[in-house]
Structure 1
């Protein structure tokens, strides 16, 4: 799938990946890839700026976690992030319904003039 496919939807993807609990950056990438059946492959250079922006907006919070001697930043949803995810889902349903109506129109009813 083209990298452009997630443009405009990256925030929602990141929020959804964090819905079940805190994850570090690579785990977020893996979660999105797994949930998309391998169709979406996010790059670290794409997600880290987005995660920082979501944190600045108050939708995520982060903390440092240590695994052995390695430290990594873990991200989790805030209540505002959960509300934003709900909004993203509603907007996505509306978008896919509208696009689906154009790409897969319902068959015309017999007797209706076109």
Structure 2
């Protein structure tokens, strides 16, 4: 089983919820570096255990990104098999990623504040 879709050994409910909250932005960050296809994104995310997900999660997410104008797609011939649908970051996607990157440090610091014993008193 893959984390994010079903209970995965070593995967907590908290880790699953955190992943769901940031997965979209991690995908946008990967697309910032150039066009990628779905399986390639799944494989790249799996390189970091906490972000491992499945195609069953990835493709609906990519469809949402496309429908919301954050990503665009094009078909490209593949050397081995059918053409692949590649996803690219749009200007709106770049803006959303910048906004997330700007907000992330303060959000992380706020969570750290509550997780550090004695910080809330």
> Structure 2: any 5+ residue segments left out of the alignment?
1-10
Partners of 1:105 and 1:97 in 2: CA distance: 14
TM-score by length of 2: 0.77
Mapped pair 1:27 → 2:31 = no
Report the equivalent of 2:112.
100
> Structure 1: any 5+ residue segments left out of the alignment?
108-113
TM-score by length of 1: 0.81
Report the equivalent of 2:55.
44
CA RMSD across the alignment: 1.9
Report the equivalent of 1:80.
92
Structure with greater strand percent: 1
Contact 2:31–2:88 under 8 Å retained in 1: yes
Mapped pair 1:6 → 2:19 = yes
Determine which structure has more spread, i.e. the larger CA radius of gyration: 1
Runs of 4+ displaced beyond 4 Å: none
